Structure 1
């Protein structure tokens, strides 16, 4: 009984002392939507306190709030010109299209990736960007995790080879199907994406 009470007391103390994770705000672009390099630099220039390493296992994530880039664009047109993106936005999500069952980037994705690269070039030379791969829930967990990692690496390689960004500035991680945008429909296409964080 004493052991149970001390374990319970430790668990309660840990729960009370652990800071609650602040919700992360991610700006979500749709396929074909214009990506503004200045907005990319503004969001990715904000750093997070936790740094992800290449292929690191995922830690419990803070809640995520997804904001449509169209809503951000509407807010920009109705707001004063110096207000660019939400001040608390910490990531960008692009619907990078890949060949089926592959990490081969399709040509349709290149325009958004090129604008993203222009935004990364506006950052300080020593800044680091984390490239996160995400999949939908079609297929096994293990398969989707490996596919998401391969796709994150493919995006990093594209940015390095086509835009001359130093590979050391681009960290990759894959989350598979574990962090859907649309949790109500885990197989929804919107869950297949690549997110970018300042690190």
Structure 2
């Protein structure tokens, strides 16, 4: 009985802490969507808090209400893909997500990803010279947890190296971290392509 009550208390505490841990808004770009360097600078120049997904609102939700990442539906992800250009960055967004394309089972960045990364680099250059950006690698759930974690770390490092080598951004300004499959955008389909991404936020 004591063990049951302890487990219940921990579960309740975790449930109450979840909204607090999901307070950050993320602008999610789809492949080919134009990235505005001014938006990049505005978003990455803000102080980091926690994580929410900035998706197109449903008909029943107010436009300003963010959707917690853990409750994103396939329909919400599809809605986010209907525009080729975003409006200006929401005032409370504090992270950007890009669908960086890599060669299969590799950390090699494909040419299709370069236009978005180049625009991102232009935005980073607009930040204060001592500002730091965190580059997060994320994968879908295909493969083992350990494999995906290592792949996500390698891909985050590959993006950092691209920004350093092709745009002259100081490596010390770019922190990298990999989360593997542990932080999907689309929780309804852990294998969804939208979960394979690189995310950026001000550190």
Distance 1:69 1:42 in 2: 22
Contact 2:34 2:85 in 1 (8 A): no
Equivalence for 1:145? 149
Listed as ranges, the gaps of 5+ residues in structure 2 are 56-79
Secondary structure of the residue aligned to 1:157 is: helix
Deviations 1:94-131 (A, max 9, x none): 00000000000001100000000000000000000000
Distance 1:70 1:159 in 2: 28
Structure 2 length-normalised TM: 0.76
Equivalence for 1:189? 193
Secondary structure of the residue aligned to 2:21 is: coil
Listed as ranges, the gaps of 5+ residues in structure 1 are 50-61, 77-83
Change (3 A) 1:63 1:169: closer
Equivalence for 2:46? 46
Structure 1 length-normalised TM: 0.78
Deviations 1:64-101 (A, max 9, x none): 22324866956x3xxxxxxx311110100000000000
Q: In the alignment, does 2:103 pair up with 1:99?
A: yes
Distance 2:51 2:155 in 1: 24
Contact 1:129 1:169 in 2 (8 A): yes
- Structure label with greater radius of gyration: 1
Change (3 A) 1:183 1:22: closer
Distance 2:54 2:197 in 1: 13
Contact 1:29 1:70 in 2 (8 A): no
Equivalence for 1:35? 35
Q: Offset of 1:21 from its aligned partner? A: 3.2
Query: Cα RMSD over matched residues?
Result: 2.7
